[in-house]
Amino acid sequence: MESMAIRFASLDDASAICTIYNQGIEDRVATLETELRDADERRRWLSSRGSRYPVVVAESGGRIVAWASLNSFNLRHCYDHVADISVYVERSWRGKGVGRMLLARLVELGRSLSFHKLVLACFPTNKPGVALYERMGFVAVGVYREQGLLDGQWVDVLIMEQLL
pLDDT-derived band at 44, boundaries 50, 70, 90: very high
Output the pLDDT for position 78: 96
Report how far apart, in Å, the C-alpha atoms of 10 and of each of 7, 30, 87 are.
9, 23, 17
Residue 132 lies in a domain: no
Among residues 97, 93, 141, the alpha carbon closest in space to that of 121 is found at 141
Residue 154 lies in a domain: no
How many domains does the chain divide into? 1
Residue 36 lies in a domain: yes
pLDDT-derived band at 154, boundaries 50, 70, 90: very high
Q: From CA 142, how far away is CA 164, in angstroms rounded? A: 19
Q: Where are the alpha helices (DSSP H) in 28-114?
A: 39-47, 98-112
Judging by DSSP bridges, how do beta strands 82-89 and 5-8 pair with one another? unpaired
- Asked if pLDDT for residue 60 goes beyond 90, the answer is yes
pTM exceeds cut of 0.75: yes
Output the pLDDT for position 29: 87
pLDDT mean across residues, the chain: 96
Residue 24 lies in a domain: yes
Residue 133 lies in a domain: no
Residue 62 lies in a domain: yes
> Quick one: average pLDDT of 39-46?
97
For residue 66, the enclosing domain spans 5-120
- Asked if pLDDT for residue 1 goes beyond 60, the answer is no
Among residues 67, 79, 75, the alpha carbon closest in space to that of 30 is found at 67
Output the pLDDT for position 95: 92
Output the pLDDT for position 21: 97
